[in-house]
Structure 1
Amino acid sequence: MIKAVIFDMDGTIIDSEPIYDKVNEEVYEKYGLDLKQEDHDRHLGANLKDIWTDILDRYQVKEEYAHYKLEDFMEDHIHSSYQGLAEAEELELMPGVEEWFEFFKDHGYQMVIASSSYSPVIEHIYQRFGLDQYMEGYVGADSIENGKPAPDIFLKAAEKLGVRAEECLVIEDSQHGVRAAHQAGAKVVAFNRAQDESQDLSQADLIIEEFNQENLNKVLE
Structure 2
Amino acid sequence: MFSNKKVICFDLDGTLIDSVGIWNDIDAHLIESLRGQNISLSQIQQQRDQQLNLFRTHADPYLEYCGFLKDSYGSALSKQEIKTLRYTISQHFLDQVIRLKPYAEHFIKELQQQNFLLALATTTSIHNIQRYQQNNPNIYQKIDFNTQFSLILTRENVTRIKPDPEVYLKTLAHFQITASECLIIEDSLVGVEAAHAAGIQVVAIYDEHSQHEQDQIRLKADYIVQDYKELLEVLNQQAVSSVWSKKI
Please classify the TM superposition score into its range, dividing by the shorter chain length: 0.7 to 0.9
Task: Give the match for residue 211 of structure 1.
Answer: 228
Q: Percent identity?
A: 23
Contact 2:28/2:39 (CA < 8 Å) preserved in 1?
A: no
In 1: Cα distance, 2:96 partner to 2:203 partner:
31
Cα RMSD between the aligned structures?
3.0
Deviation of 1:219 after TM superposition, in Å, equals 8.0
Aligned length: 216
Does residue 99 of structure 1 match 2:103? Answer: no
Aligned to 1:197, the other structure's residue is in SS state: helix
Q: Does 1:160 align with 2:174?
A: yes
Q: Distance in 2 between matches of 1:193 and 1:219?
A: 25
SS of match in other structure, 2:9: strand
Q: Residue 174 in 1 paired to residue 188 in 2?
A: yes
In structure 2, the residue matched to 1:86 is: 95
Of 141, 164, 168, 1:150 maps to 164
Q: Does 1:184 align with 2:191?
A: no
Please report how far the alpha carbon of residue 82 of structure 1 lies from its aligned counterpart in structure 2 after TM superposition.
4.1
Segments of structure 2 that go 5 or more residues without pairing to the other structure are 135-139, 242-248
Residue type of the partner of 1:191?
I
Matched, 1:11 2:14: yes
Paired letter, 2:127: P
CA contact (8 A) 2:158 2:166 kept: yes
Q: Equivalents in 2 of 1:165, 1:145: separation in Å?
A: 21
Aligned amino acid, residue 76 of structure 2:
E
TM-score (norm 2): 0.73
Aligned equivalents of 2:159, 2:108: Cα separation in 1? 29
Deviations 1:162-192 (A, max 9, x none): 3334421110001111100110111100011
Q: Equivalent residue of 2:192, what SS?
A: helix
| Greater fraction of residues in helix | 2
Single out whichever of 94-103 and 5-14 deviates more from structure 2.
Answer: 94-103
CA shift in 2, pair 1:75/1:140, >3 Å = farther
Choose 1 or 2 for highest CA Rg: 2
Partner AA of 2:233 in structure 1: E
In 2, Cα distance between the equivalents of 1:158 and 1:144? 14
- Partner letter of residue 208 of structure 1? V
